[in-house]
Structure 1
């Protein structure tokens, strides 16, 4: 059944076998728990007065793999942070895509979307749902009436899912303990901060780089990113990455900057810091161990990089999340 995006997501908890927790719910937002027969965990919806913005925070583990079918008539934009990779989706008759950890952007094309969550595996995400009116109002301020709409933003985020500053804003949204109007003011300020960071990043990407890329080049570049992501503790040289991409080292560096707007080293650093952020929040590993796992043998050097990226050190980050 076709419906608005706000209506769809507000009715979603029932479809996921979630039960509202009255003492943690109000007109501003609701918290649900998954029925024990179907799994465990919670799901939170935070609704804003004008019904143009909705924030969802999910942290649950279904007992069995399930499919969720979504058909929404309204145009909207969704920007998510996934902390797990146990979900997959497909749009219309396209192939199934695995959801990876990091930032993901989706524009509703009014096609049927199928989402799958794997049984027995945790699902953790934060979703920012914006109606087209909310999104357009913000970007018209920066780009005017002639901006290239949402596709440019989607392309940017899909190429840069590990940006530390964006992932950190999502962590601030998830960790917010405010209530009532203070909660709404804080969360909307974070949404605006997120969109502003995207605008800033896109502006930096506009620099002209004298190299042309075709789809085979882009596919080869993605292979090198996958190689780095699969072994964050490794130290691949520029020559090794260029060999994987089938390019000369000089062309590889130009091609990488052209497509991703950054260098391979910076991309690797972003992936490492993003993974460190999740490990600090979701594991009991010591900071030195986490530093090793993401490729830094010197925990002091790791702490300095972390602070430069997020504005606070690893210990401070754990402290604000109540983790010792």
Structure 2
């Protein structure tokens, strides 16, 4: 989060630098000495974005507000987090006299869904169940993460190469953070019976039949008669992939086949396989096949 200091207290001695890495990633670096509260107001952009933060300084205490409710959070030294707080205003307290060294990324929901194998609708479901204003996942900052963060703060390159440098390092951090969160999840042991395994195949069949409009995790777990934890982790154990990643791969494979047929344009293909955003579809397609959908369609006759 970033914002302006409140007038009721002396401002903290914090320097804030914001860098637009690309249209789906914005980076903010804050350094200095804490002291005052900082007030935040929701924007159209932050309501549709995910924050990934890395705290290398002192503790940061925050309170989020929405619909006459409040929720407190603390980001401690050496802690990373992934946070989704749609429509929330709030206050952040940088502890007086403590060093501030905080780097964060605001990324699009589509990038979050792709890199972390999680649909935002599942996150919203969890927030509703817990009556929470914010969905946050905490993780320790590893030695690898810290090294990359230091590189980003020093930034040895200039001009046009600077944006490419920041983008590459941002994705490197996302990769490390994903590994850390996956390890924490894998610590929870799961044993599947033969009946459970059959239900994982049933779940796969349901997803195959509903690529354009898939059921939520809660709905899918009810359809096959298991809880959500067993569905998410059991599906990975049986099929070697998360339900979301499987669904994304099936959508892209169907899109590839439709592009080969050349009976629809790229926008129609994207809509047909369940993507409402053409730019997101193009980005995900290129990341999997190495070319854009337009390029793939143009060369379909040679494939």
**TM norm structure 2:** 0.47
**TM norm structure 1:** 0.45
